[in-house]
Structure 1
Amino acid sequence: MAALIDEADNFDVAPLRLTVDLAALCDNWRDLSRLSGRARAGAVVKADAYGLGIEDCGASLYHAGARDFFVAAASEGATLRAYAPEARIFVLSGIWPGQEEHFFDNDLVPVLASEEQLAFWMSVLADRGDHPCALQVDTGFNRLGLSVEEAMELAEDVSRPASFSPVLVLSHLHSGDTPSAEANRAQLQRFREVSTAFEGVEASLSASAGIALGADYHFDLTRPGIALYGGEAVNSVANPMRPVATAEARILQIRTASAGETVSYGGAHRLARDSRLAVASVGYADGYLRNLSGAGIALRDSVKTGAFGFIAGHRVPVVGRITMDLTIFDVTDLPQGAIAAGDYIELFGHNMALDEVARAGGTIGYELLTSLGLRYERRYLDGKI
């Protein structure tokens, strides 16, 4: 696991730094567990726990009480197993030839999503004996999953081997983030039919957004993901989750520029006044997306101004194009002497909401988190009970 806050590291002098508040992560999980009512709350930790570190996040969630985890790949599950020894770990991409050792050695549960995977799994069980699996059913997403018809046929197939023992049947809402969407109710009805057919097998339909739809959508197990990490799960609703990640970049230089001069590549931003500019050590190589630039981005339509940072109690805009390693912020409106080279500017966190920054780039908080580069020095605030 990464060093905790009280251990010496390079955090105070790093060009880029990321603080992960594991206590906030665990509080978010407890809140989502309460909102899940009678259902248990699992935890989705795929994509390196949404970019924040599967080892530390997984261990903290396990200590907080999570016992059902979801990863995308078997390698993620193998990593997590050391930090969640008694948990059920579901692998959403299923199992493929050559991965058997990963699954059996690390006690991973494949989520089977096709007739091909089912056939392979049956052959594995014939050689290896009993091992749990899960079934994913497509109730209208047109992504992964058995069709409803295929799932119903499987449920009614009395010839299936006794060693075939699914412990969970799951599906996923495509418009859970929009509570008024009629598709949610249509998917719910189809999933009820499937879950009823698999009598005695636990069922799971809701990720973060689905939890907010109410008890009808909870079934036996919920699968919170983005909400755990402080992101917005439901459109047009105030986000109740605690911020978990704070990203900061060091200011390398503060420079003056005159009205009429241009800033960054292509001269896309022309200064309307004499300005002070803070050049920060972050760029698109660090997941601070080029689409967050203050100017010169042709494809961005929804937000014209680009992103803001936060420093010395003020929001400051990005000016010009973001480059691979550097971003320029306009700090003209800050009092003289309020900041200096070497100070840190918040990119997102407690003062700059993750999803507000994401919207400035025409994207979502998921992408900002999972795009975090390798150059951030990380600090984990301990979240164990």
Structure 2
Amino acid sequence: MTTRTSEAKPASGRAHPGPRLIVSLAAVQRNYARLQALAPDAQVGAVVKANAYALGATEVVPALARVGCRHFYTAHTAEGVEARDALDGHAAEIYVFNGFWPAELPALRGAQLIPVVNTLAQLDSLRQDAPDLPCAIHLDTGMNRLGLDSAEIETLIANPSRLDGLDVRQIMSHLACGDDPDHPQNAQQLARFARIRAAFPEIPASLANSAGVLLGPDYHFDVLRPGLALYGGNPAPGHDTPVEPVVRVDAPILQIRELRAGDTLGYGATWQADRPMRIATVAAGYADGLLWASSGGGAGYIGATRTPILGRVSMDLIAVDLSAVDHAVEAGDCVSFLGAHLDEIAQAAGTISYEFLVRLGIRFDRVYQRD
């Protein structure tokens, strides 16, 4: 994998010799500004776990810091360390969702990370082993995944002195159904979290992920934690989104073939031509994160023209239908994937745009656009 900053050629132009992952850092920054405009009374943070959803934390983190982001969220301590290094001196708080482990104290302290406490036992361990370390507290309001459970929440509300002497930077929870604005559990979780927040009004509160931002100001509290929306995905499919695409894959055409009616294509001979047709074989596949499950669905694009994926996606190759392309195409031209069609190709693969992003492979030539 190579990483560079460059102006990517248009999707319909001649390709780089290998597939390229083109990330617009300027689009990430504009998406951040759009989300901040939706929540003027809150601070917008950024979830940068999983290498900033595979787009490259070392590039995304400083780009967001340059436009004022001061809260970053990772899953693991090692990701937090990488984010701190990438900040290159910008002041910011970096949170580690997966909690506090005494063995990680040197790394947490060294990178000035903030562990998110998920149980009262973790809180007691923090008090004993690292009372100097800032923390956040995750309070489960209905996800039933991480965080203090309902009994522990009631214990903490009844005994707020358990926080005495600790530097608690945030209390937080996570929406289970924010991607479905009409789901009744959203209002239930909001009510539970508002009650907890009322017990600790002096501590900044954070509930909304990307989808929660779009649910409106009742869900915003003090700090927002968008991830997918920053990277161009729609957190509530089927509903309008204010964000723009951030990432696309440009894959060069290796060969163009003319098929006859009855010809099969690809592994398993799962697809058969019903007429004479022209197809292109492009240099990208599931090793690059263009999922095997996209076989027989989804599409690439040449300019604005949709080129459906035919047959099975291979490790390194994808075949697309050129029937709708009304101009000459030859080896070396680009077929583009993702971009404005991220949600489309994810749905065709029977998955979500989150998974499609984080599975993008490491062998792309990565191009970062700053303007």
- Identify which range, 129-138 or 23-32, moves more after superposition: 129-138
Q: Is the 8 A contact 1:88 1:109 kept in 2?
A: yes
> Any residues of structure 2 matched to 1:83-94 within 5 Å, and which?
83-84=86-87, 85-94=90-99
Distance 2:160 2:298 in 1: 58
Distance 2:177 2:160 in 1: 35
Q: Which structure exhibits the higher relative contact order, with contacts defined as CA atoms closer than 8 Å and separated by 6 or more residues?
A: 2
Counterpart of 2:105?
A: 100
- Aligned to 1:224, the other structure's residue is in SS state coil
Counterpart of 1:369?
A: 357
- Aligned to 1:160, the other structure's residue is in SS state helix
- Aligned to 1:146, the other structure's residue is in SS state coil
Distance 1:291 1:182 in 2: 32
Indicate which of 42, 47, 56 corresponds to 2:45. 42
| Number of residue pairs aligned between Structure 1 and Structure 2 | 363
Indicate which of 103, 116, 119 corresponds to 1:114. 119
Distance 1:247 1:256 in 2: 25
Distance 1:159 1:308 in 2: 57
Q: Cα–Cα, structure 1 residues 197 and 268, in superposed 2: closer, same or farther, change >3 Å?
A: same
TM-score by length of 2: 0.94
Task: Measure how far apart 1:159 and its partner are.
Answer: 4.9
**Which letter does structure 2 place at the counterpart of 1:210?**
G
RMSD: 1.8
Q: Is the 8 A contact 2:15 2:252 kept in 1?
A: no
Distance 1:199 1:331 in 2: 60
Q: Is the 8 A contact 1:131 1:163 kept in 2?
A: no
How big is each residue's C-alpha offset from its partner over 1:13-65, in whole Å with a ceiling of 9 and x where there is no partner? Answer: 24110111111100100110111131111111111101100011000000010
Distance 1:378 1:150 in 2: 45
**Which letter does structure 2 place at the counterpart of 1:204?**
S
Counterpart of 1:322?
A: 313
Distance 1:310 1:101 in 2: 48
- Aligned to 2:198, the other structure's residue is in SS state helix
> Any residues of structure 2 matched to 1:283-362 within 5 Å, and which?
283-294=285-296, 306-335=297-326, 338-350=328-340, 353-362=341-350
Identity %: 40
Q: Is the aligned partner of 1:5 residue 2:6?
A: yes
**Which letter does structure 2 place at the counterpart of 1:52?**
L
- Aligned to 2:139, the other structure's residue is in SS state strand
Counterpart of 1:66?
A: 69
**Which letter does structure 1 place at the counterpart of 2:105?**
E
> Any residues of structure 2 matched to 1:136-215 within 5 Å, and which?
136-157=138-159, 159-160=161-162, 162-215=164-217
TM-score by length of 1: 0.90
Q: Cα–Cα, structure 1 residues 159 and 26, in superposed 2: closer, same or farther, change >3 Å?
A: closer
**Which letter does structure 2 place at the counterpart of 1:209?**
A
- Identify which range, 80-89 or 149-158, moves more after superposition: 149-158
Task: Measure how far apart 1:162 and its partner are.
Answer: 3.5
Distance 1:5 1:76 in 2: 26
- Aligned to 2:134, the other structure's residue is in SS state strand
Q: Cα–Cα, structure 1 residues 195 and 358, in superposed 2: closer, same or farther, change >3 Å?
A: same
Q: Is the 8 A contact 1:14 1:377 kept in 2?
A: no
**Which letter does structure 1 place at the counterpart of 2:4?**
A
**Which letter does structure 2 place at the counterpart of 1:26?**
Q
- Aligned to 1:13, the other structure's residue is in SS state coil
Task: Measure how far apart 1:160 and its partner are.
Answer: 2.8
Distance 2:238 2:33 in 1: 23
Q: Is the aligned partner of 1:77 residue 2:75?
A: no
Task: Measure how far apart 1:266 and its partner are.
Answer: 1.1
Q: Is the 8 A contact 1:249 1:282 kept in 2?
A: yes
Task: Measure how far apart 1:281 and its partner are.
Answer: 1.0
Task: Measure how far apart 1:6 and its partner are.
Answer: 6.2
Q: Is the 8 A contact 2:119 2:148 kept in 1?
A: yes
Q: Is the aligned partner of 1:227 residue 2:229?
A: yes
Indicate which of 21, 24, 27 corresponds to 1:24. 27
- Aligned to 1:99, the other structure's residue is in SS state helix
Counterpart of 1:257?
A: 259
Distance 1:2 1:196 in 2: 47
Distance 1:238 1:246 in 2: 20
Distance 1:35 1:102 in 2: 35
* Consecutive aligned runs of 4 or more in structure 1 exceeding 3 Å deviation: none
Distance 2:274 2:230 in 1: 42
**Which letter does structure 1 place at the counterpart of 2:287?**
A
Distance 1:130 1:266 in 2: 60
